[in-house]
Chain A
Amino acid sequence: MKLKFIISFIIILSSGQFSLAQTIKGFVYELNASQEKTPLPGANVYWEGTTLGTATDKNGAFTLKNDGAKNHLLVVSYVGYLNDTLHVHGNKSIEVILQGSKTLEEFEVLERAPGAHISRNDPIFTQQITMGELKRAACCNLSESFETNASVDVNYSDAITGAKQIKLLGLAGKYSQMQTENIPNLRGLASSYGLSYIPGSWMESIQVSKGTSSVKNGYESVTGQINVEYKKPENQEMLFLNLYVNQIGRVEGNVNSSIRVSPRWNTAVFGHISNQAAKFDHNHDGFIDDPMFTQVNLFNRWNYYSEAMEGMFGVKYLNEDRQGGQMGYYNNKEPGSEDFYGTRIRTNRLEAFSKTGFFLNRPESSIGWINSYIYHDLNSFFGLNTYDAIQHNFYSNLMLQTWIRSTAHTITTGISYNLDHFDETLNDSAFVRTEHTPGIFAEYSWVVPEKFTLLLGLRGDYNSLFGFFITPRLHLKYNFTPKLVARVSAGRGSRSAGVIAENLSLLTTSRYFIFTEKLKMEHAWNYGINLTQYVDILGRELSISAEYYRTEFTSQVIIDKEQNLDQIRVYNLDGPSYANTWQVEMRYELIRRMDVTLAFRYNDVKMTIDEQLQREPLVNRYKGLVTASYATNLRKWQFDVTAQFNGPSRIPSTAMFPEQYRMASESPFYTVLNAQVTKFYKKWEFYLGGENLTNYKQNHPIIASEDPFGPHFDASNIWGPVSGIKVYLGVRFLLKHDRL
């Protein structure tokens, strides 16, 4: 048996050698400003759907074998140019003239590449999570989309309401900028539950970039940026249906549809409804493990294209009602009564956006204008705490992109304006806050093809509460060889903290907020280096990346629940606060059609809490990830397995609590295992999966759960899963347009 295996292995190994080797030769050109044909060095030339490729030399010439070419489509690409795909036969020499992209970078429609990958051209280290990758974990919304991603952690922030938070580079999600289609989103009141506002089947792709990002999108990204691209009307299905159900009674339905209204106008409608009505208490602490909720989410978008301009417009509405607490809470005579502990969060949210781009007569030059308005109305109570809030956000960004001397040197400059108006009432205290932040920015980029990219950005913003501040950013990408790429980034990020909205989970405690001083704006520097090496092994490419990032706060708002038993003290950082993360990640197609990812990250996150430099609570000291995805021939079946390894984290001190309420000082190591099987038909897809298959749960997630109105109650010390194994089943129906 073993011998047989070895023989077949050898046959597989050598099978590549038997195909007839042919060599394609050719030249790649661009048209310069006076429309003359000039060689384009450093363009990528590769076989579609493979990693077999090369780059053009200084004369624009290339030679490429067609060993292993899946189909005979040769792709020629270069940043800022439209990709060209050629059908290439035999050995003949070819000539390609790349057309300058008329598309604004902000409007770039992303190609669907298989699985997750690291963008090679982007000077900022960016991981793409594509639709294929999103399908590997079918449930349910943005918060579950990072299960197969080693950089982003997602954790519950309390054991009652289902609030979730991401962590990037070891720091809370508020320090990474969330965007939808390059518009800042999920800020302020959406901080605690916003990850559930974007249904999985609406998303086309997600870009995760680490370190500070481009100044074009503002000053807020400190640890990174997460951008979600919704499906586009022009290339999505005519009709898409998705139905999902799990064993604890969560039900979800999605309907997407797109229509070509005219050659220039396309529209799409997205509908989502989800519900969890059943309540379970598997850990017998008297509290419902998973909150009950109903969400209705609607989105309509319109895209317009013409020779001179393009535009995108959209309106989104969300209504959510989520409830949690003690099993008997429904019997309460009135909300917020002391019969049973209960929480209820009701949300109404309206978003509207427009993005317009105008192409100028000069090549590669355009004007882009983004506008967005968000209204968020939140009504909630958490036991005896009541919190009602309204947020208005208006954002406008007008930018000009052009080049100096040659298209290798581009300049983007513009002005932006952000308005945030908060009207919050926590119990009997009212907080009203209005922030106007006009800003001006410029970014210079210099590209030496396939060798080096420099991105230099600077912006100045004036915040009506905190004054003027600057945001410098630097990104550098250098290719030592075509297979070894180094990226360096450095920059500053700033944000104004919305303490209560960002920490709603702390209302599920018997503590009260104390603001000991006037809070400052948060400022931090972030530096990072990333090395990515591509190695060809057995005709397939192994990618290994190693990185180090450091974030250093010069000003930070500290949320301290360790100084005093019944308080949450909020004050400005006085002392050091930093986060170091080291990460290595490997991806390889281990056997045909089986992609494997291995990753490991070490976090060293410390901050000065109560005048002492301490490990930041609830940050895993290390994290590991193993994923494997296997598709059968013709991709009729797909199997996915993901294991997440969570190292110990520091639990906020419970030393002041009576003995029976104390928790360990560190959480234990634990593993979460997810798996999924998908069966594909022409128009139907069925999936069956399980989350947390080892059924790992944090014991006693709620402190003093039997005395919820007593002085020790705390549901926010969460380091692990609250609910156990979840098994789900779903079906998708896809009806494509004829033109696709």
Chain B
Amino acid sequence: MMMMITLMISGPVFSQDKKKNYEEVQIKTSAVCGMCEERIEGNIAYERGVKKVELDDKTKIVTIGYDPRRTAPDKLRKAISKLGYDADDVEADQAAHDKLPQCCQKGNEPH
């Protein structure tokens, strides 16, 4: 019953969240600045199956909404790593990381 009410209330706006082709994953990244946020959001948005990307700059956690039939959390972590950032336990691709602008590199304090 509760479930139904929730469904009804959120139905018109959030209906796509409830479908089978939509799941969300939260990935902890090593983003440090706004430029990182732009990079991650701008690039992950075009990964296959991605429907939503939001990076919380305080927690450095990126929330990715995706179609589980077309991609998987592991693939998304790998994609973040290739941009030069850590993604949960997947370490940043070293070559990509070294190419990042100074302010985006690990070890820089959030500014």
Binding site for B on A (CB under 8 A): 4-5, 7-8, 11-12, 48, 71-73, 85-87, 89-90, 633-636, 680-682, 738-739
A8 to B46, Cβ gap below 8 A? no
The digit string for B21-61, where 1 denotes a CB below 8 A from any CB of A, is: 00000000000011001000001011000111101011000
A71 to B37, Cβ gap below 8 A? yes
A48-B34, A85-B34, A634-B53 known; A4-B46 Cβ under 8 A: no
- Asked if B111 CB lies within 8 Å of chain A CBs, one says yes
**Residues of A contacting B45 in the complex (Cβ-Cβ under 8 angstroms):** 634-636
Complexed CA–CA distance, A636 and B52 (Å): 11
> Which of B12, B34, B52, B101 contacts A73 (CB under 8 A)?
B34
A633 to B52, Cβ gap below 8 A? yes
**Residues of A contacting B68 in the complex (Cβ-Cβ under 8 angstroms):** none
Binding site for A on B (CB under 8 A): 11-13, 33-34, 37, 43, 45-46, 50-53, 55, 57-58, 99-101, 110-111
Complexed CA–CA distance, A7 and B13 (Å): 9
- Measured CB to CB, the nearest residue on chain B to A684 is B46
> Which of A11, A89, A681 contacts B46 (CB under 8 A)?
A681
A71-B34, A634-B53 known; A7-B43 Cβ under 8 A: no
Sample (19) of A-B pairs whose CB atoms are under 8 Å apart: A4-B11, A5-B12, A8-B13, A11-B12, A11-B13, A71-B37, A71-B55, A85-B34, A86-B111, A87-B34, A87-B110, A89-B57, A90-B58, A633-B51, A635-B45, A636-B45, A682-B43, A738-B100, A739-B101
Number of A-B residue pairs, CB cutoff 8 Å, is: 47
**Residues of A contacting B13 in the complex (Cβ-Cβ under 8 angstroms):** 8, 11-12
A7 to B110, Cβ gap below 8 A? no
B101 to A89, Cβ gap below 8 A? no
A118, chain B: closest CB distance, angstroms: 25
Complexed CA–CA distance, A12 and B111 (Å): 32
**Residues of A contacting B11 in the complex (Cβ-Cβ under 8 angstroms):** 4
A87-B111, A633-B51 known; A8-B12 Cβ under 8 A: yes
**Residues of A contacting B111 in the complex (Cβ-Cβ under 8 angstroms):** 86-87
> Which of B46, B58, B99, B101 contacts A682 (CB under 8 A)?
B46
- Measured CB to CB, the nearest residue on chain B to A8 is B12
Complexed CA–CA distance, A682 and B48 (Å): 10
**Residues of B contacting A11 in the complex (Cβ-Cβ under 8 angstroms):** 12-13
B37 to A634, Cβ gap below 8 A? no
Complexed CA–CA distance, A26 and B51 (Å): 37
A634-B53, A682-B43 known; A738-B110 Cβ under 8 A: no
Complexed CA–CA distance, A738 and B101 (Å): 8
> Which of B12, B50, B58, B101 contacts A7 (CB under 8 A)?
B12
B58 to A72, Cβ gap below 8 A? yes
**Residues of B contacting A636 in the complex (Cβ-Cβ under 8 angstroms):** 45-46
**Residues of A contacting B37 in the complex (Cβ-Cβ under 8 angstroms):** 71
A22, chain B: closest CB distance, angstroms: 11
